[in-house]
Amino acid sequence: MIYPIKNIREDFPILKQKVNNYPLIYLDSAASAQRPKYVFEREIQYASEQHSAVHRGIHTLSKNATKYMEDIRSKIAYFLNAKSETEIIFVKGATEGINLVAYSWGENYINTGDNIITVLIDGAQAIVHHDVDVQKINCDFYVFSGHKLYGPPGIGVLYGKKEILDSMPPWEGGGGVTFNSVPWKFEAGSPNISGIIGLGAAIDYINQIGKAHIHIHENQIINYALLKLKSIPKIKIYGSEPFSGLISFNLENHHAYDIGLILNEYGIAIRTGHHCAMPIMKFFKIDNI
């Protein structure tokens, strides 16, 4: 059964507000997606009724919180089709996941003149729009952030092939880390368990709607947006079709920042600037989008 778009909109309380007397139209999910009430209600439930330290206690609350965390690790492994939940490491976000690999693996195994074939994929954007099968794409590492997947900020995931993770030293010190095994040797200190709970709820929410239904609706609105944009004189659209979840464009003789400010006057939130992609924009001689 297709989940009605009206119901989905009602799941996001923030969309009920007005900006500059216009209904909010939020088109900045590539930077940070809004959270459905299902996600933050689960976070509130955990914080108010279930909070405890994980992997550190023998009492009921601690054991339950530990189980929540490890169940979500298994859920993410299934979501990515990883071979094992031990290949899933909780990090603060995609940026920390990339840095973990750079320092723990890169500094120990990359040397001048190497033919490097180890592959890390930054999937922070892709995971929202595509089914990700890490075994099928055969990447060595895959990272993503929770806040771009309708989850909370401050939590992310690093997937790594177990045989590679086993060969990597911990990159942070903490109680029990040095002699621990994967994935826990990379999770020093007290984890963001509330964020992990929220990320697990976000995955549940996506699975409830169904990625197939999300893809259908996404393609419909992308095609509609393209049709309307192409009807505007002097619009420059970057990239080639089919587009996946977003459209990059400029209006000739107008700075992207100015377009963003004008759209904001009508309650429309979009991303403008270099989009944290300066090297590729410099390559294509584009100052801003």
The residues that are catalytic are 276
CB 41 within 8 A of CB 63: no
Q: How far is the CA of 200 from the CAs of 39, 45, 127, 156, 195, in angstroms?
A: 8, 13, 14, 11, 9
Adjacent-strand bridge partners of 26: 269
CA distance 176 to 189: 9
Q: Give the Cα separation of 244 and 219 in Å (integer).
A: 8
Distances (CA, A) of 274 to 148, 278, 284: 18, 6, 12
Are 189 and 172 spatial neighbours (Cβ–Cβ below 8 Å)? Answer: yes
Interior angle at CA 17, CA 227 and CA 40, nearest 5: 100
Please, how many CA atoms are within 13 Å of residue 62, restricted to the half-sphere of its CB?
Answer: 8
